[in-house]
């Protein structure tokens, strides 16, 4: 299956209904609609909102519009936006807290294209996560690679169904002789093949990519999971990343270099969990539409298309490199 064609077809559909409903077939041309996507994070200074206009022939640019933010029914922000490209990314500066009810409204071209979405910021887990690390080697493909193993102890929120996402980031901080600081953030690919929760019980090895021709498992590359295997209890995730070393330019010899790894456990909404699971399928070469269940992408944008999710988090920052200037 061609993933791009499938995703395009999903975007062009007139509407995505509730998660349990299938997409309706439309045999007539549909009017252009606004497409809005965002993952809102509690405590973040700036959150990104993506806006498109989509029609039956593809995406079209827009000239102007506005984004309005409501927090607990109080208007906190109105931002004018300018278009000009087929896909535009904007930021909202309202600060969100766990438990807040957020409403995003977008209107383009004087209100010709409109959409809105409401979402509540989930509560994070109450206890801090604990992370143990070990530098080791792991077989990746046909060779052994230097990796970092992470054992991440988490305690589930009590008395409710919870949905989570694990993310691990590498942050490189360059401090110049003049005292200026520049930070670069890179998402690290999480190797979760040995974790029973992240693989939903389908543990694998690197050999499965080469020899597992009958494997019908879609890899959980977005590392989302529920508490179904440890309700109201604790669990220790067991994952790897490539070793987060620093390979700099020659000019970095004069800079003070710091490299951190940030382990993030996001508490997400049920709808966002289902959305990311669907994206796992659509992006996977292992997904087979003949033998697997059809992929249904959730949407929650009224009057348009798209999805708005929300999360809060617990995080741990680990200092990996602290190198003073070499000259």
User: Per-residue pLDDT tens for 34-50?
Assistant: 999 999 999 999 999 99
d(CA 290, CA 1): 10
Q: Give CA separation, 152 vs 97, 195, 235, in Å.
A: 24, 11, 8
CATH code of the domain covering residue 114: 2.60.40.1940
Looking at the structure, tell me whether residues 148 and 209 fall in a common domain: yes
Looking at the structure, tell me whether residues 109 and 137 fall in a common domain: no
d(CA 11, CA 7): 6
Looking at the structure, tell me whether residues 255 and 165 fall in a common domain: yes
- Residues 67, 272, 283, CA angle at the centre, nearest 5°? 105
Looking at the structure, tell me whether residues 107 and 253 fall in a common domain: no
As beta bridge partners, residue 55 has 58
| Count of domains forming the chain | 2
Q: In this structure, is residue 302 part of a structural domain?
A: no
Do residues 164 and 226 touch, judged by C-beta distance below 8 A?
yes
> Dihedral angle at the C-alpha atoms of 191, 309, 270, 192, nearest 10 degrees?
0
As beta bridge partners, residue 77 has 69
Tell which of 102, 120, 138 closes a domain: 120
Q: In this structure, is residue 3 part of a structural domain?
A: no
- Residues 7, 205, 230, CA angle at the centre, nearest 5°? 80
Tell which of 120, 152, 171 closes a domain: 120
Helix (H) or strand (E) run with residue 173 in it? strand 163-175
Looking at the structure, tell me whether residues 109 and 183 fall in a common domain: no
Do residues 151 and 132 touch, judged by C-beta distance below 8 A?
yes
Looking at the structure, tell me whether residues 102 and 237 fall in a common domain: no
State pTM to two decimals: 0.85
Looking at the structure, tell me whether residues 68 and 158 fall in a common domain: no
- Provide the residue count of the chain: 327
Task: For residue 52, give its domain range.
Answer: 31-120
Q: In this structure, is residue 224 part of a structural domain?
A: yes
Looking at the structure, tell me whether residues 135 and 234 fall in a common domain: yes
User: What is the largest distance, in Å, between two alpha-carbon atoms of the chain?
Assistant: 68
As beta bridge partners, residue 143 has 140
Q: With a cut of 70, say whether residue 85 has pLDDT above it.
A: no
pLDDT per position as a tens digit, 170-198: 999 999 999 999 999 999 999 999 999 99
Q: In this structure, is residue 208 part of a structural domain?
A: yes
The pLDDT confidence band at residue 55, using thresholds 50, 70 and 90, is confident
Q: In this structure, is residue 88 part of a structural domain?
A: yes
Looking at the structure, tell me whether residues 53 and 197 fall in a common domain: no
Looking at the structure, tell me whether residues 286 and 138 fall in a common domain: yes
Using alpha carbons, select from 192, 195, 170, 193 the residue that is nearest to residue 183.
170
Looking at the structure, tell me whether residues 223 and 176 fall in a common domain: yes
Q: At what angle do helices 270-282 and 3-12 cross, to 10 degrees?
A: 140
- Find the DSSP H helices in the chain: 3-12, 207-211, 270-282
In 10 A of CB 10, how many CB atoms?
17
pLDDT the model gives residue 86: 57
Q: In this structure, is residue 85 part of a structural domain?
A: yes
d(CA 118, CA 212): 42
Q: With a cut of 50, say whether residue 12 has pLDDT above it.
A: no
pLDDT the model gives residue 211: 43
Tell which of 68, 89, 120 closes a domain: 120
What is the chain's mean pLDDT, rounded? Answer: 87
Looking at the structure, tell me whether residues 158 and 290 fall in a common domain: yes
Burial, 187: exposed, middle or buried (Cβ in 10 Å; 0-12, 13-18, 19+)? Answer: exposed
Q: Which of 26-40, 127-141, 199-213, 294-308 has the lowest mean pLDDT?
A: 199-213
Mean pLDDT of 224-233: 98
Q: In this structure, is residue 125 part of a structural domain?
A: no
Burial, 38: exposed, middle or buried (Cβ in 10 Å; 0-12, 13-18, 19+)? Answer: buried
Q: With a cut of 70, say whether residue 61 has pLDDT above it.
A: yes
Q: With a cut of 80, say whether residue 287 has pLDDT above it.
A: no
Using the structure block, give the residue that is written with the tokens 């901080």: 173
């Amino acid at each position: 299956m061609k993933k791009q064609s499938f995703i395009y077809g999903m975007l062009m559909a007139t509407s995505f209904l509730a998660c349990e409903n299938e997409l309706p077939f439309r045999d007539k041309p549909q009017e252009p609609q606004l497409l809005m996507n965002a993952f809102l994070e509690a405590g973040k200074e700036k959150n990104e909102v993506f806006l498109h206009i989509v029609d039956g022939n593809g995406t079209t640019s827009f000239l102007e519009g506005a984004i309005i933010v409501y927090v607990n029914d109080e208007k906190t922000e109105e931002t004018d936006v300018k278009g000009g490209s087929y896909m535009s990314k904007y930021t909202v500066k309202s600060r969100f807290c766990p438990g807040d009810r957020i409403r995003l409204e977008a209107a383009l071209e004087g209100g010709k294209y409109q959409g809105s979405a409401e979402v509540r910021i989930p509560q994070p887990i109450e206890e801090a996560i604990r992370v143990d690390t070990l530098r080791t080697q792991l077989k990746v493909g046909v060779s052994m690679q230097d990796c970092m193993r992470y054992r991440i102890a988490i305690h589930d929120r009590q008395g409710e169904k919870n949905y989570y996402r694990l993310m691990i980031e590498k942050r490189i901080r360059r401090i110049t002789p003049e005292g200026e600081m520049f930070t670069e953030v890179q998402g690290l690919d999480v190797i979760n093949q040995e974790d029973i929760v992240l693989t939903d019980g389908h543990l694998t090895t690197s050999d499965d990519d080469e020899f597992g021709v009958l494997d019908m498992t879609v890899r959980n590359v977005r590392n989302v999971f529920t508490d179904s295997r440890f309700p109201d209890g604790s669990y220790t995730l067991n994952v790897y990343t490539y070793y987060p070393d620093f390979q700099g330019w020659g000019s970095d010899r004069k800079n003070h270099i710091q490299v951190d790894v940030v382990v993030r456990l996001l508490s997400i909404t049920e709808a966002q969990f289902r959305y990311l699971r669907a994206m796992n399928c659509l992006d996977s070469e292992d997904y087979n539409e003949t033998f697997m269940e059809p992929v249904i992408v959730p949407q929650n944008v009224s009057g348009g298309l798209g999805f708005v999710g929300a999360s809060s988090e617990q995080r741990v920052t680990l200092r990996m490199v602290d190198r003073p200037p070499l000259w």
